[in-house]
Structure 1
Amino acid sequence: MILRRLALLAAAAALASPAPAQPSFAGFGPGGPDKAGFQRIAAQCKGKESFSDPSRPARIFGNVWYVGTCTVTVLLVTSPRGHVLIDAATHEAAPAILANIRALGFNPREVRWILTSHEHFDHVGGLADMVRATGARVIARAAAVPVLTSGKVDPADPQAQRIEGFAPVRVDRIVADAETVALPGLTFTASATTGHTAGSTSWTWRSCAGPVCRRFDYVDSISALALGTYRMSDHPALIARFRQTFAQVAARPCGVLLTPHPAASDMFARLSGLKPLAEPGACRAYAAAAEKRLNDLLESETRAGK
């Protein structure tokens, strides 16, 4: 009798208590972007231009985390069977990136794969450091391998005259365009988006927060930048590759757009709630802006008679 009375009292209390708040996945609720965290990142990084300025970490969505610097994206995608790191920023940024991973409660030694975007020091300069700290294996497209394994800038790179090399690293797996890389519960698809470098690679995957899943498009840098005496107009084949990449990126069924430099796609503004997280035309706008920069560069070279 006493047990029955206690059970009735407990049931009445449960009915009288307000129902627990349900996660909100439509906006920026639990499982969605850490809006306050990205607002703090934006404030912390305001006015900073170095590739290595440290940033705090924050959740992007579900199992996708920002662990990069103020100006260079590094992503951690987690799972119970191992994690994936996308890019590695600079050698100088490596300690801060590892600290960010730990601050989120994850063990760097549980990173299984490191995926790469393009072979410039601001994105892969810390790759050798990350491999030593995590034991992870490196994945890249074949065109990136000569630079990654030598640490020397490609002489054909439009920026070769002004950018530095980095510590070489072994590439453990070479992927082709449209090939997938998988761990249990995680599948990434590589896309060749050449132009910025020969090995430029974009990555697509799907991540979930509770019942809601989103497509993520980590679209590599596609900007045409010529440094030193390099004259883009003298390289019609490279210009053609850029234009092919612009068309490919514009045609992507774009999900949540992420980019190797956050400022290139207003990442911090979108993740802090100042702009929509995902817009149907995001990839088209990203490609159109890059194409305009190429056209402006070609026009300036013509005017200057370079």
Structure 2
Amino acid sequence: MVTGGTGFVGGHSVARLLREGYRTRVTVREPGQEAGVLAALRGAEVDPADRLEFAVAHLDADGGWAEAMDGVSHVLHHASPFPSAPPVTEDEVILPARDGALRVISAAREAGVRRVVMTSSYAAVGYTLKPDNHYSEADWTDPDTEGLPAYHKSKVLAERAAWDYARTHGDIELTVVNPTGIFGPQLGNRPSGSVGLVRGMLTGQMPVVPVMYFGVVDVRDVVDLHLRAMVHPKAAGERFIAVSGSSISFFGMAQILREHFPAAAGLLPSAELTVEQVREAAKTEPALRDAAALRGRIPVISNEKARSTLGWEPRDVSETIVATAESQLRQGLTLPEGDSVPS
């Protein structure tokens, strides 16, 4: 079963599961949202035949989860609130993330599900700064870190709550995947925040970017890691960071786009704010608080555990950024000199 099937990772997960022959149930928050999943499957050129079904269940309510879990062997729990703007109160994000995770894992345990693979985030790992800037699965973001955005705090508290539940009830296996910034091809009609970032660069909406370095991972590799974690015996009780390789900056991302899509050169970011400029701007612009919190540091994020334990081999960062842009061209984005998707 897949929660959050209407989302970026969820859509790719459903497509991959169906492609590999799994019977798949997808939860949606309300009737009618099935169309988003089906649109993603058309984008992936996957025919679900009779192997796809839907269930209605909401992270904020108990109803529907028992029925959704009936007959399920494994759960990929992707669903979690991702606000497009800073919430009025932190609880608007924290409560559905934390309580929703507990509803999912509790219902899974009661239904006899063997393992839940939960999508957390690098936000739960590396947003409390360390002197050496090196981060692995052993690290945790302190939810009381000054200036930590509500979304990041929600990922920490939701993951902590899930681990506490799994340890208290030893008859349910939990594995957690902590992706860094997720990019890659858009399947449906609704771009994710990261895909929208690349689109914004290509359309001249971001002439200046903040100095900020972060990990990147391809959505297809995130799904691959989830599926490996779903079935590998050594994945039970473990968390795995999903990152392609070295951290990159917004400006570095623009350089990749400039190299591969020269027609967009005049639209791409041409300047980078300094650390001090970001810090000042973040006082009045909530969207910059994430960058301000990282203070221009370059995190060294390890993917060794996923590679050595599960045999995971992620794509190169450049390949992922290019694939993200190419998907926008397929979605109808036109560049000044008519760059098209390579054949």
TM-score, with length taken from structure 1:
0.33
The TM-score normalised by the length of structure 2 is: 0.30
Query: Higher helix share goes to which structure?
Result: 2
Higher-Rg structure is: 1
